[in-house]
Chains A and B, each alone.
Chain A
Amino acid sequence: DGGITQSPKYLFRKEGQNVTLSCEQNLNHDAMYWYRQDPGQGLRLIYYSQIVNDFQKGDIAEGYSVSREKKESFPLTVTSAQKNPTAFYLCASKGVGNSPLHFGNGTRLTVT
């Protein structure tokens, strides 16, 4: 079945450590997205990529980094510079034109 896989489902890290969240899709979509979800704030866009080897900052990119070396993969690194990293992170991909986003099931990151 085609879809988006985010791993792991739960992730725990100590403050000051960088951590990388995985996102893989087999939908052959060009565009991929990372959103952060916090209670009462909805989804906020971190980074998005329209094509391999290209990506743009979203509304809250500070403290995050991404790469897009392969069409199928769009990993997100939460760096130690991110002041409040504990959140639910959602990855999505999109086909051509006005196609809707397809979402993974998310990674819940807890930093203590």
Chain B
Amino acid sequence: AQSVAQPEDQVNVAEGNPLTVKCTYSVSGNPYLFWYVQYPNRGLQFLLKYITGDNLVKGSYGFEAEFNKSQTSFHLKKPSALVSDSALYFCAVRDIGGASKIIFGSGTRLSIRP
């Protein structure tokens, strides 16, 4: 069975500093991996995805993520955080060999202080 874990409930970063939001996954085959962001009382917005190819994926709003197959991780990163990046971030996984089932992690609240 596929699963995804976000080990940190909250990440606090000063504006201008780099940020990392962690995600690890488990699938039986090769994964499709996604990051989404959620603002209060709204649906999720897509940030970026890893399907195949380069391990460093670039997405919206200056975010990027690094796929590491040996560590089964897909951490979200940004070189310089903005206060407006403060939101709830979700990692998601789909098993390429499986059906369309897409599973989400528990979410990480990112707080950027001025």
Contacts and interface: CB of A to CB of B under 8 A. Distances in A.
Interface of A: 4, 6, 31, 33, 35, 40-45, 48, 50, 56, 58-59, 90, 92, 94, 98, 100-106, 108
Contacts of A59: 103
User: When A and B form their complex, which 5 residue pairs have the shortest distance between CB atoms, in order from nearest?
Assistant: A103-B43, A42-B106, A43-B104, A100-B46, A42-B107
A48 B42 CA distance: 20
Nearest to B43: A103
A42 B8 CA distance: 12
Contacts of B71: none
Contacts, number: 65
A48 B102 CA distance: 9
Given A42-B90, A43-B90, A48-B100, A90 B44 contact: yes
A103 B44 contact: yes
A90 B43 contact: yes
B106 A104 contact: no
Contacts of B107: 42-43
